[in-house]
Amino acid sequence: MTIVQQLPLMFLLCCQTCVLLFLLWRNIAPGVKQWKRAIKDEHTCHCNVTGCGDEAVQHQEINSKGKRRTLPQYIDLRNLHVILGEKSICGDVAYVHAVFVVHSAVGNYRNRQAIRQIFRRDPYYKKYTIRLLFLLGQPHEMKLQNKIYQEFRENGDIVQGVFLDTYHNLTYKAVMGMKWISQNCRNVKYIVKMDDDVYVDLHNFFTHLYNPFRSSDHTVICRAMLRGQVKVNRKGKWGVEKHHLRYYKQFPFSYCSGFAVVMPAAMIPALYKATLTVPFFWIDDIYLFGMARGFIRKSVLHDITRKKYFEHDIKKNWKCLRRAGCELVFACMSSKLMLHVWKERQKYLNHKQ
């Protein structure tokens, strides 16, 4: 058969190959585009890794005058799915005094290790029944996800959701934690929500906060940010979009500074249910302890004094912890400083005894 005679057959084979490649591209391309769009738009929308941007389309409408307006968004239950989590972490004992739920970024391994070492070596960790959990989203890179898998196998204290681990998904991280605790930690007295750059003094927590305080099932213990006293920022890292709290210059409700918040565990299921009703707001402290908490009858904020709660002044924190009569429970500091402070603190407490 000559080359000329083979041309129709070659042409047919080329056409079949092109059709197969087109069909393959049509099936794969949308997934690739969605993944790239999720990474690109992480600072503007709340989403999971497979659906970013769809919510923004679904929550826009054009009114009778032809103007586009933004509709209220709500928690997407698909984003609360847990891919890593040890369900028996609270169920292996009859009663848990406190669960410390730490909001951590996927790359902050050193912070998590510092907190683990402090808790495991602290005498109060053995004196009371305490559980430690780290809440994470998903990283952008599979290499980092493999490290999370290894960390989970070694420690078993990670609860990871399907959403991307970004600032604008902080609320999903918090609500996922509420749902998980409601289902798996029903034998707990207190839940302590904190960030991974917060040092907690377990001696002072049980001596000056846990044992003396007698609260109802609707009391949230935190550093309260009072109604009308906190400015609504429209720009910067914590900027609020113009369609949220429109016309307000200050937040119209009280809420908690989210560095450290103590809640009766009995309140967690009610708070979780409230998040399914309240329109979505990406700043988790304001959403959970201001907007959602407002839907719970009789809920109140108990303000922690500065004696028990410092935020960023490291010198004052360290000066207090080395002094007799210090009641400081929570303080912000780096992972390197945490271990140093804890070791020096133990020397003082042992000498005092």
* Domains in the chain: boundaries: 77-232+250-352
Residue, of 155 and 225, whose pLDDT is higher: 155
The answer on pLDDT for 309 being more than 90 is no
C-alpha 336, offset from chain centre: 22
Query: What is the CATH architecture of 77-232+250-352?
Result: Alpha-Beta Complex (3.90)
For residue 135, name the pLDDT band (cuts at 50, 70, 90): very high
What is the mean predicted confidence (pLDDT) over 225-242? 78
For residue 41, name the pLDDT band (cuts at 50, 70, 90): very low
If you average pLDDT over every residue of the chain, what do you get?
Answer: 80
pLDDT at residue 322 in the model: 77
The answer on pLDDT for 51 being more than 70 is no
pLDDT at residue 33 in the model: 42
C-alpha 206, offset from chain centre: 24
Least confident of 2-16, 245-259, 306-320: 2-16
pTM: 0.78
H or E element, residue 234:
none
User: How many percent of the chain have pLDDT more than 70?
Assistant: 78
CA distance 297 to 278: 15
pLDDT at residue 137 in the model: 96
DSSP 1: -
